[in-house]
Chains A and B, each alone.
Chain A
Amino acid sequence: MAIEPDGDHVPQERVPSGISGLDVVLRGGLLRDGLFIVQGEPGAGKTILGNQVCFNHVAAGGRALYLTLLAESHARMLMHIGPLGFFDATVIPSRLAYLSAFGALEKDGLPGLRDLIRREVQARGATLLVLDGFAAVLESSDSARTFKKFVNELQTQATLTGCTILLLTTVSSEPTPPEHTMVDGIIELTSRLYGRHAERDLQVRKLRGGSYLRGIHSFDISDRGITVYPRTEAWLTRPAATDGVGGAPVSTGLTQLDSMMGGGLPRHSTTLLVGPTGSGKTTLGLHFLAAVNQDEPALYFGLYENPAAILAKANALGLRLDGLRGSGAVELLWQSTTEGILDEVCQRLLDAVRRRGVRRLVIDGLSGFAALASEPDRLGRVFSALSNEFRTLDVATIYTAQADAVGATGGQRLNGWSPAAAPGIADSVVIMRFVELRSRLHRMISVLKVRDRASDPSMHEFSITGIGISIAPDPAGAEAILAETTQQPASGAKRSPRRSPA
């Protein structure tokens, strides 16, 4: 924190990295005039990060200098970063210069390197300096004292010239390398294996004088460069707006279900729709979408069926989703569950909601998120954070969740999820199930709870026909079926053989 003459603390000015997500983690960016270490094993992405920050800095009007010390040659480096989206050859060398500092280090040691940095930063008016291959500085130091003196001089230089400095280096074998105590911030890039699947992680291990999102965040490297995906439950800790309450209920698209729920889904609420595969969860979600109007844009976020399959299903049910999609009232997004980053998917979902001011949202289904989660125990917190955010954005959300068992309500489990997570994410719970009677499966629907409202506790039979879901208004049919099942002998039960008279 800088201190003003009157003694008030003012936040130190930040220099945005321009890397999507990283500035969220850093709560605004790097500290102006700050000295940062970016560390990671070879291949972790340090050089791409350093270059991307340089190009972004230049695009924002700054000037940058990239110095290398026994890193790869500039020709190879530029060849590798040239295809990446942030690269712009027109700013080199006028606003971004690549120089080798190794000659100066070899010839005149640390004093030579220090002089070169001072001279080139001043001559080029650089407001950002990246020193790639910083480990070579340590190797060239004859003592720890010399090395610490050099780092201290770099820090002084950063302050005097108004230049933010990034030192790219490998991870030290020492638990607390001396430079770590001296720099303003440390960003670490790592890679972790989950079975055969690898994920890249970023962690800010230190940031002096400022808050940041602590803990580990995912990132990826694509043809756009580095994108950081802040941990969803961390950056959504404080919802964007005040939680909405009240307002007219939102129709599910099914009059009978609306009636069972006391008028429909509470506005600004999340509803968990649980049932085994084939029970009609997606179909119910399509009814909800088809009830859209222009003031309530809708989004279907599917993790299993792609938009073409969803449209075909809707058409078969007489729900004209293609027309609603054409008018822009409904958007269909699909997300593969085979490979992906959980926080990236959450961000994609949230972006899609915010972009169109979505008011009706179907997430089909939660098990897909479980498949993407390398750390399944995070899911409850992630969806609790997402649910809070959706509520504040005035979204009525339906999550579908697959139950493992075809059985009694109490025995149903959420596939890949802990049932304990449900209260955190769902204001309302609707159960769909099958009941087996005389070689026929009967579909049943019931409302387990609705937020702040009385609901119909009865179980109703329903069917899926060419016009979609039809729920029996009278629970008597369901009651009769369930009563009959209790009178039947359990499937597979043995009968005692009748003993013949002696």
Chain B
Amino acid sequence: MHLDPAVPGGCNAAVPPLSERKWVFMMRVAARILPAMADLDDTGRARFVAIVSKALSERPPAIQRQFGLFLGVFRWTPLVRFGVPFDRLSPISQDAVLRWFLDAPVSKLRSGFWGLRALVFMGYYGQPEVWPTLRYTPSFKGNEMLHG
């Protein structure tokens, strides 16, 4: 896998089950959903890709196909209103598209966006290395931390 330094959070290789083009797009969307993606270094981005690709690969083939299809729908739907695909929109317009999908009138579109969002959060928050930035510091001996 190669990481594209020109693209914030970029990945320029096909890592199953997504094609290279879909990964590049996915990383761009991820950076909009989760601004802290931009703070990840190469290792963090590689971990993100590894977590997401593993989670997707373990899903049934039908779900993988649906997700790939949704990414396409998500990319091209803005063409109707803005005349360009998602990745060529300004950040403000991209956020408007995200908000539209979050509350979309069709349940399937909301579910698709929910799945995309969940994968992004899994890839980022699933990394124990980011937990201290959330002030989340679990301990096997948690009871010892309860009373100062």
The answer to whether A binds B is no
**Chain B residues within CB distance 8 Å of chain A:** none
